[in-house]
Each structure stands twice: as C-alpha cells, then as structure tokens.
C-alpha cells in the first residue's frame, strides 16, 4: 500500500488534499443499504482505481463481517489507497492495553486507525457519563496507545462544531489531548449535520491557527449544507476531506464526494485525484449505486444522467456554438457526456444535434429538419416523450427522410387475459402473425406473466424464424405513465420500454394510446424494428431465406 507521508507546508503550497472515503462504514449506516463482504471488497478496489487516499473499511470490533473484511483486504493489490479501521476511544472502565475495541483495531492490521472521541460537553456528561478530565484522558491515552504500535492515527473529534458552540474551551482541550497523544490528523466532525458554512469556516480556522496541525473535515447533511460546509472547511485550512460516494449515509447522508471533489479540484485548484482518476468518478458513482441496489439520481450534480442534458431550443443552439454558455465544466472531466434532448421545447438545433448523434447527415437548411421539429412537437402534445426513447426518435427522423427499410409487416396480434380471485387461474396468452420480406407469414403463440410479456415473447418467436438474431433481445424495463388522471379509465397511457441484446447494446422506445396494451405494442414493435435496422449488414448476421 502507498506510503502517504506528508509535509504540511508542502501540501499547503501545492494545494494538495487527501481524500478519505467512508462509504463502507458511514455509508453502510444509510437506511436500505447493506454491504456483503464481497461488495465491500469490490468497492474498495473501485475506489483504489479512482485514486482515493484513505478507505475506511469498517469497525472491526462491531461485527464479524467487518473483521473478516480487514483480513481479506490485506490480499488486495491496492495501488493508491490505505485501509483505515474505525473505532472509539477505550472504555472508561478499561485501560488502553485491556480494551477489546483497541485490541481489535490493532489486530486487524490496518495501517491507519481512526478513532472518535467526545468533544461536546453534553455527550461527555449525558452519554459517556464521565468527568471532563476523564474524557480528556481517554482521548490522549487511546491515541498514544495506537501510535506506540506504529499506526497512523486519525482522531475524529465527534460533534466538534456543536461542542465548540457549547463550550469552545473544552472542545479545544479535546483536540489538545489528541495531539498530546500523537494524533496525525484532527478531523472536525459536524456529526449532527446542523452547522452553517460561516460557523464551519470560523471554527476550522481557529483550530488551524491555535494548533497548526493537520486538520480534516467530516460533515453530515441534515441541514443540506454538507458540500458548502466541507468546502468552507478546506478554505479555512482543512486538508483531509471525508465523504461517501453519492453522499449515502445515516439520516440525510454524508458529504457527497462526487460533488465535492470536482468542485475542489476543477474550480478551486486543489489536487485530490489524478485527471484520469477524476474521469472515473461517474463510473465509480454508478458502480456504488449498482452495488447498493439504489436507483441513480439523474439530477445529481456532475455525475447524474441529466447533469449535462440540454432540452430548450435556445440552450441547445448556444451549447452547440460554445459549450460553456450552458455548462459550468466540460462533462468529460468527470467521465460524463453531453446529452441533447428532444421535446416540445425543441428547436431545429436540437434536431440537428440529435441527427449528428445518430449518424444522420442533415444540414441546417434541410427542409426535413423543420418538418421533424413540427412532428415531434405534435406527438409530444399528444403524450409522446422522446427523452427516454432515442430509438423511437431515430426511427422517426430516418422515416421522415425516407431512409427506413421495411423488415416485417404485422398482419395481426391478439392477447387474451384471464383474471379471477385465485392466482392460479390467471394467465395471459398472445398470438402474433408476421409477414416477412420473402412473402411468408409466421405465426407464434405464447403465454406470459402478463399481457405485455406474452406479446413480447410471441412477437419475437414469430420473427426469429426469419431473423434468428432476435433470440438474444430482451425487454429490460417497462414504464407506464397515465397522462390524464382525471379521465379515469379512458385516459391516455404512455409506455416507455428499454430493450437490450447480448452485445450489451440498450435502446428505448415509446408508445401512446388510450389502451395500455396498444401503447405497449407500439413500443415493442418499434423496439424490434430498431434492433433489426441497427444490426443490418453487421458481421455474423444470420437469416433464413425462403
């Protein structure tokens, strides 16, 4: 593992910061998040690839899984990261040498140990229930014991900002006790997440001025100030930045490294990651979402799907001329991409941009451009939405220009749905007849766990006799939206379908109708039609001739 020895004066001049990720410990305390041992190891490797300096793996004294993690983590070939074990100061009834918590922190053999200690007077008297002097002794002796065993020690000054506002002198004495024990880092924690940026800046600056020590910042988001608080602490002299990927954590979450790192590095000139590591931040964000089984926040700054999406026609026109007119950074710096959306707000610039994206040669004076814009606006007025259905939009544009080949004709399709109070009696059955270019009609029938599933299966079965490559196509997602709830059962329904194949390609299509089955069928037909066009002429294409 990398040796992260540091000279405070050198770091100050070079504006270097140290990134401390606590996704595996603090992040695991988020409601609905539970990591397996394998999950934790995979995330560790991903964070190391990104270039994180410290990875807090867990609390070895709290559960067997975390203890096992540290054993397995020693086998990982990490290139950038140090593993940190988390725990508390020793129990008031024990000595450092006899405390089980400190013993396990040492036995797990992590090169870095992070321990928290009480710095808020009400916690000392009401939670820990010891004298103030005894608490100072717990902090000093715990740190000293760990340092004497050769560990790099990070002291988390728990509830420091609340403690400082309650009794600034005692809070500072707690920091002094940790430094007397030999702590390498003093991390100021806004544990309740209720401090304001001006408070964080002033108190952090005071600690730096009084002790001239290496300071870190660890904030929670209960007041929705976590990014601002972290940045203000860095401006006041903090050099170790704590947070989690995507901001997951207890209650309202922790500081989101996906937002903090780009702000500090791109906009303020601090150095946390290499340029290559910064470009991996979106990839790592999505990886953690996948592992935690959480849906990505599309509007998440920097890494969200919509972070660099442009919809308004005037915005798109400006962005195409100069991206900085409506983008605060280049999306590629954080591994993201620019997206041009097409909707009823679109102008010709949107259509021309999407045409280039689809590989369509369309000039600004092309008469089809205005025709397509008008057609899209009419369709969206009727309930269509192309933001999540690029495949349907590409088909619409190519059909408008006469560049769409007919691969099949639907002769008829029918679905039967049987419902009753007994689940065993419920079923859906679909029959589909398709005519292929050789003049043959292909019939297929299939049952499914619902009408759309039955139609999808029968449709592909009917076509796969002529287009065997369709056997690898799968329906990945299916969304239904009622467009006019006041219309009751006669309301229009929009169906968005996401499909994919064995190559990893994915595409979205849309259908709209008062009948949800009809809307689904439109989207299904477009999905298969699009797949056939995209794969036409590619190597390995198999087809049975009549």
pLDDT per residue as tens digits for the range 232-248: 999 999 999 999 999 99
Residue 68: Cβ within 10 Å count? 16
Do β-strands 185-190 and 215-219 pair in parallel, antiparallel, or remain unpaired? parallel
Residue 76: Cβ within 10 Å count? 14
CATH domain 16-271 topology: TIM Barrel (3.20.20)
Q: Which two tokens stand for residue 169?
A: 């002198």
* Residue-by-residue DSSP string for 138-161: HHHHHHHHHHHTT-EEEEEEETHH
Cα angle for residues 344, 368, 354 (degrees, 5° grid): 55
- pLDDT tens digits, one per residue of 374-428: 767 777 666 666 666 677 777 777 777 776 777 888 888 898 887 766 656 677 8
Q: CATH 3.20.20.70: which residues of the chain?
A: 16-271
- Mean predicted confidence (pLDDT) in 16-29: 95
Query: Check: CATH 3.30.428.10 for 409-535?
Result: no
Residue with token string 């009609």: 441
**375/396 Cα distance (integer angstroms):** 9
Run of H or E including 287: helix 281-292
Name the phi and psi angles at 435, rounded to 5.
-105, 125
- Residues pairing with 280 in the sheet: none
**374/47 Cα distance (integer angstroms):** 47
Do β-strands 240-243 and 54-58 pair in parallel, antiparallel, or remain unpaired? unpaired
Q: What is the dihedral of CA 7, 84, 103, 135, to 10 degrees?
A: 70
**474/2 Cα distance (integer angstroms):** 44
Is pLDDT at 171 greater than 90 in this prediction?
yes
Are the beta carbons of 91 and 99 closer than 8 angstroms?
Answer: yes
pLDDT in the model for residue 472: 80
Three-state DSSP state, 235: helix
Q: Which two tokens stand for residue 132?
A: 């103030």
pLDDT in the model for residue 541: 36
Q: CATH 3.30.160.270: which residues of the chain?
A: 409-535
Compute CA distances 473 → 88, 507, 524, whole Å.
53, 11, 11
Three-state DSSP state, 298: coil
Picking from 13-22, 298-307, 382-391, which range would have the lowest pLDDT averaged per residue?
382-391
pLDDT in the model for residue 358: 72
Is pLDDT at 184 greater than 90 in this prediction?
yes
């Amino acid at each position: 593992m990398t040796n992260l020895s540091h000279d405070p004066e050198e770091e100050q001049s070079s504006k270097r910061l140290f990134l401390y990720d606590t996704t595996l410990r603090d992040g695991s305390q988020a409601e609905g998040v539970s990591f397996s041992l394998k999950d934790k190891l995979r995330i560790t490797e991903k964070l190391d690839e990104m270039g994180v300096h410290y990875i807090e793996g867990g609390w070895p004294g709290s559960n067997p899984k975390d203890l096992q993690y540290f054993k397995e983590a020693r086998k990982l070939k990490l290139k950038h990261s140090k593993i940190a074990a988390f725990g508390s100061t020793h129990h008031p009834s024990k000595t450092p040498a006899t405390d089980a918590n400190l013993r396990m922190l040492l036995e797990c053999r992590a090169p870095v140990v992070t321990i928290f200690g009480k710095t808020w007077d009400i916690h000392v008297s009401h939670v820990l229930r010891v004298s103030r002097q005894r608490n100072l002794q717990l902090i000093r002796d715990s740190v000293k014991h760990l340092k004497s065993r050769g560990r790099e020690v990070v002291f988390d000054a728990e509830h420091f900002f609340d403690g400082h506002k309650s009794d600034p002198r005692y809070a500072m004495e707690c920091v002094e006790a940790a430094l007397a024990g030999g702590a390498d880092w003093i991390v100021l924690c806004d544990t309740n997440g209720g401090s304001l940026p001006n408070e964080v800046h002033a108190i952090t600056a005071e600690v730096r001025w009084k002790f001239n020590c290496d300071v870190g910042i660890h904030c929670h988001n209960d007041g929705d100030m976590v990014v601002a608080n972290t940045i203000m602490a860095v401006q006041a002299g903090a050099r170790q930045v704590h947070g989690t990927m995507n901001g997951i954590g207890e209650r309202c979450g922790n500081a989101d490294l996906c937002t903090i790192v780009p702000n500090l590095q791109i906009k303020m000139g601090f150095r946390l990651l290499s340029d290559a590591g910064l470009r991996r931040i979106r990839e790592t964000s999505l990886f953690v979402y996948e592992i935690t089984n959480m849906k990505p926040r599309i509007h998440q700054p920097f890494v969200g799907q919509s972070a660099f999406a442009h919809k308004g026609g005037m915005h798109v026109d400006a962005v195409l001329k100069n991206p900085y007119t409506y983008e605060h950074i280049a999306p590629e710096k954080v591994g993201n991409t620019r997206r041009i959306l097409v909707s009823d707000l679109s102008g010709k610039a949107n259509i021309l941009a999407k045409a280039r994206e689809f590989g369509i040669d369309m000039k600004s004076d092309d008469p089809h451009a205005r025709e397509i814009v008008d057609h899209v606006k009419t369709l969206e007025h009727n309930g269509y939405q192309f933001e999540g259905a690029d495949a349907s939009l590409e088909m619409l544009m190519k059909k408008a220009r006469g560049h769409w080949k007919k691969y099949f004709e639907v002769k008829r399709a029918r679905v039967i749905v049987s419902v009753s109070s007994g689940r065993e009696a419920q079923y859906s059955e679909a029959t589909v007849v398709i005519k292929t270019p050789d003049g043959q009609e292909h019939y297929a029938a299939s049952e499914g766990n619902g009408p759309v599933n039955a139609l999808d299966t029968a449709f592909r079965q009917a076509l796969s006799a002529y287009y065997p490559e369709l056997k690898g196509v799968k329906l990945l997602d299916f969304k239904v939206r009622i467009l006019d709830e006041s219309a009751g059962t006669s309301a229009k329904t929009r169906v968005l379908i996401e499909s994919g194949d064995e190559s990893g390609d994915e595409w979205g299509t849309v259908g709209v109708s008062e009948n949800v089955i009809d809307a689904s069928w439109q989207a299904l037909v477009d999905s298969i039609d699009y797949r056939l066009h995209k794969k036409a002429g590619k190597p390995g294409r198999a087809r049975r001739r009549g």
